[in-house]
Chains A and B, each alone.
Chain A
C-alpha cells in the first residue's frame, strides 16, 4: 500500500503536515497536523510498503515494543485511509 499521488508530507512552523494536491485533493481538501511518529509512518508510505515493513522501520527508529509499533501503524493507516489518501 502507499499514499496516493499528490499527497504532500511536509514540515511547517514546527509541525508535520499532510495535504493533498491533484487527484488526491479531490477527496481531501483539508490539512492534517501530525506528530513525529505519524509523519515518519506517512513518509514511509510515500513508496509502496507493507504494514510489517512499517512496523520493522518504527522499531528500528524508535525504542518501542513491536505491539505498540503495530498499534500506532494501524491507527495512522486507518486515519489516512478514512480520508481517501491511501492507495492499496
Chain B
C-alpha cells in the first residue's frame, strides 16, 4: 500500500504510482475529490511546465508546476497559487506523466492539456484563485450564507434552519470553511444535513484531527506551566486557550497556537525551560517570544498584550493589574478585562487585514460568557473601550454578530459581508496593504516599510531603544534579511506584486 512515507521505494520498485490528489493547489487541473495522478521516477533535468513531485525538508510531499528552470533548482508554482517556490533538483522524486480527470486518462503530452498549461501560466500574478467562493463579480455565492447558517446552528447548538439553497456545493463549502477555520466547528451539522456527501470523510478527518490537536496541546501546555511554576514564573492564559472552552464541544475551534502571558523579567528562565523541552526559539523580540516544536506545537509567550506603538496600547500597559489569582503562579483575566482585550485584539486584526468568520463566532461566544453575564460591570467595560478609542468598532461588530448568530438572523450589508468572507481567518495581506495605501499613499507606505520609524524599530531590535543614532544600522540589518532570508524575501515579493496592482490613493503621493 502506498503511503506518504514509502512513495520513493514504491516508485523505485514499480516504476510508477497512481496516487489520489490532496489539497486545492493544482485546481482546476486536479480536483482532490475525484482526480488522480500518475507519477514516474525521474533522474534527469525536467523542463518548464513539467509537474514534479517533490519532498520538502519538513517531509511534506508537494505536486506543483515548473515555471522556470535554473542551474540547480526549479522555480515552481501550483496552478491555483501565485506564490513561487525555489525547489532544488535533489528534492524531486518523480514527475507527473499523466492524470485521471473524471475517470479518463490524460497524458501530459496531450495537445489540449498543453493548451491549458500555456493559458494557465501566461499570467501567474493575475490568476483568479479558486477557493470555493466568488465565481462571479457581484454575485453572493450560496455557500457564504449557508456557512453562516451552519455556524449559527453549531455554536448555539440548535437545528439548522431549512429550507436551504439546493445549489450549495459541499466541496466549495468545505474549502470556504477551512479558509475561515470553522470547518471543525460546523462538522456535526454538516454531517446531519449532508450525510451522503463524498466530502464528509475528509471533513470528519479534519474534525478528528483538530480534536486530537486540542488534546495534545492541553497536555503539552500543562507540562510547560508545571515547569514554569517550579521556576517561579507567573503566567496567564490568553485568547484561544480560554475561548476554546466556550465552544459547545472540545475540538470545535480550530487554532494555530497557544498564547500565554508571562512575567517578562523571567525571559531567560522561560527560554531555558522551552529549550530543554526541545523547542526551537523562533523569536525573542517584540510583543511575544515564539517557540515551535514538531509536529505542530506553537507557543507564543507574551511579554505584553500590545506593542507600545499600537493605537490601543495605552489602555493595556499593565496586564497584571486586575488579574485574578488562580494558583501560586497562575492568573486569569477578569471577565471584563477578557472581553475588552478581545475587542481590542479583534480591532487590531480587522483594521489591519480583515478578520473572518472564526473571529465573529469567538465574539458571539465571548459575549454570551462575559458581556451578557449577570453582574458584569458594563460601565467599566464601556469606559475602557472608550479610552481605547474603539467604541464605534465594538458597536459595529456586536451588531454583525447579532445579525449572524442571534435568535432572529438578519442581513448584513453587502460590503461588510464581502470584506468578512474574503478575509479568511487571519485577514489578508491585500486588505492590510490596501488600507495603508488608501490612508497614506503608495510612496509613504513604501518608505515606511523600507525605513520603519523609531517606535517600530524598538520592537524589532530592542537594542535601538534610547539610541536613535543606531537606526540606520538597524535599517541595514533589516534590509539584509530581505537578501538572505527566504521567507522575508518571498513576503516582500508578494507585497510588491500587490502594490503594483493597487491604484494610488486620491490624496495621492
Contact = CB atoms under 8 A, between A and B. Distances in A.
Contact of B211 (A12, A21, A25): A12
B208 interface: yes
A13 B247 CA distance: 11
Contacts of B295: 25, 29
Among B209, B211, B212, B219, residue most surrounded by chain A Cβ atoms (within 10 Å): B212
Contacts of A25: 295
A44 interface: no
Contacts, number: 30
A21 B249 contact: no
B251 A21 contact: no
A12 B214 CA distance: 10
Per DSSP, are chain A's interface residues mostly helix, strand or loop, or mixed? mixed
Interface in B111-159: none
B250 interface: yes
A80 interface: no
A12 B220 contact: no
A8 B213 CA distance: 12
Nearest to B252: A13
B224 interface: no
Contacts of A29: 295
Interface in A21-69: 21, 25, 29-31
Among B211, B220, B251, residue most surrounded by chain A Cβ atoms (within 10 Å): B211
Contacts of A8: 215-216, 219
B250 A21 contact: no
Contact of B219 (A13, A21, A31): A21
Interface residues of A, number: 11
A18 to B, nearest CB: 10
Given A8-B219, A25-B295, A19 B249 contact: no
Interface in B191-230: 208-209, 211-212, 214-216, 219-220
Interface string B223-265: 0000000000000000000000000011100000000000000
A53 B462 CA distance: 60
B251 A19 contact: no
A31 B220 contact: no
B216 A12 contact: no
A17 B216 CA distance: 12
A13 B251 contact: yes
Given A25-B295, A29-B295, A31-B208, A17 B215 contact: yes
A10 interface: yes
B8 to A, nearest CB: 18
A75 B216 CA distance: 26
B216 A19 contact: yes
B251 A10 contact: no
A19 B212 CA distance: 7
Contacts of A13: 211, 249-251
A34 to B, nearest CB: 14
A25 B251 CA distance: 19
Nearest to A19: B212
A31 B249 contact: no
A12 B219 CA distance: 13
Contacts of A17: 211-212, 215
B251 A30 contact: no
Contacts of B251: 12-13
Contacts of A30: 208, 212
A31 B211 contact: yes
Interface in B474-490: none
A30 B250 CA distance: 17
A12 B250 contact: yes
Contacts of B209: 31
Contacts of B220: 21
A16 to B, nearest CB: 12
Contacts of B208: 30-31
Nearest to A25: B295
Can you list the 8 inter-chain pairs with the closest CB atoms, starting with the nearest? A12-B250, A31-B212, A13-B249, A19-B212, A31-B208, A21-B216, A13-B250, A8-B219
Given A8-B219, A10-B215, A31-B208, 4 more contacts: A12-B251, A17-B211, A17-B212, A21-B216
Interface of B: 208-209, 211-212, 214-216, 219-220, 249-251, 295
Interface of A: 8, 10, 12-13, 17, 19, 21, 25, 29-31
12 contacts: A8-B215, A8-B219, A12-B211, A12-B215, A17-B212, A19-B212, A21-B220, A30-B208, A30-B212, A31-B208, A31-B209, A31-B211
